[in-house]
Structure 1
């Protein structure tokens, strides 16, 4: 059984390396197929595969002639929520997607939690997060309206 497990791990590793190789050679259909096979697995490469898939969707590489920003955003969100140690800066990518209106949270509570996390933990995004938290507290988006927190954040401008 252990040998079978090691063989599967090696197969995912080979598949991932093949995907990266194809991506670098701009054979995006091949890389898409490799990364798609890995993305829903339990492989240690699944987050890296999701990251590459997000990039392909974001830039319309090998999927279609048009970009699919929402699909890219959803892959970034998957990575963000699972917080793998090997992928850094995913918060910044998500913030950029939101700023440019390239992706949208389907759940207001999750959007609020994301902005709160950015505000507390990502200094580069603090003002962006604060502006969104002000809107959330003022309008009750993803959280109950809170005049006190709204005013507090507004005064920090």
Structure 2
């Protein structure tokens, strides 16, 4: 049973930006053939949307594990969490970022949760994870850690 699960789907504005491939292709291929331009635009749009959807990472807290993207860590090695939004989130993703941190961030999702890793064998000091529901993720981590302790 999953205590928390979230898929970081692309934001609607990503779809709108990808749709710009259609008129751009029409303009590029207008001198050759409008049908080729339209088909090229539709293929590019579909490819961008498919790639953004397929590559959307999942965050999962269940079975005594935290999974974010392709990585996982036992909840026994999860320490304190910090939530950040707006300017604080930009700082956490930019100048405040430790190069050793594990990242599962989406530029189109503002809130991030910094999850401390307390495994002495792991050189990763923390995970920085984008989430649309930072309070729910923090609550699930706290509850799962309390349950496993």
TM-score, with structure 1 as normaliser? 0.25
- Which structure: greater strand fraction? 2
- Of Structure 1 and Structure 2, which has the larger fraction of its residues in helix? 1
TM-score of the superposed pair, with normalisation by structure 2: 0.26
Could you say which structure has the greater relative contact order, defined with CA pairs below 8 angstroms and 6 or more residues apart?
2
